[in-house]
């Protein structure tokens, strides 16, 4: 469903944010980062995506160090 929304509303940041949050809840940190980056390519000014991306990258670093 989100893939369809990404294509239909490519510059609407909240769609990418919700898709990324879903991936985060599933524990898919790599996919979370990818969705955030895709959203930021289309709308670089959407702040919540930046914060989610930073939080996700921090989690990946902590997982790597453990």
Answer whether residue 65 shows pLDDT above 90: no
How far apart are alpha carbons 10 and 66 in whole angstroms? Answer: 36
- Confidence (pLDDT) at 64: 80
pLDDT reported for residue 58: 95
Residue 57 has pLDDT above 90, yes or no: yes
| Section 23-40 average pLDDT | 97
Structure tokens at 58: 């921090």
What pLDDT was estimated at residue 63?
85
* Mean pLDDT, residues 20-44 taken together: 97
pTM of the model: 0.91
Q: Which residues contact 28 (CB under 8 A, 6 or more apart)?
A: none
Return the domain boundaries, the chain. Answer: 12-65
């Amino acid at each position: 469903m989100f893939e369809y929304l990404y294509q239909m509303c490519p510059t609407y940041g909240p769609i990418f944010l919700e898709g990324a949050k879903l991936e985060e809840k599933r524990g898919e940190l790599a996919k979370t980062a990818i969705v955030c980056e895709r959203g930021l390519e289309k709308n670089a000014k959407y702040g919540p995506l930046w914060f989610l991306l930073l939080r996700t990258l921090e989690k990946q670093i902590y997982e790597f160090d453990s």
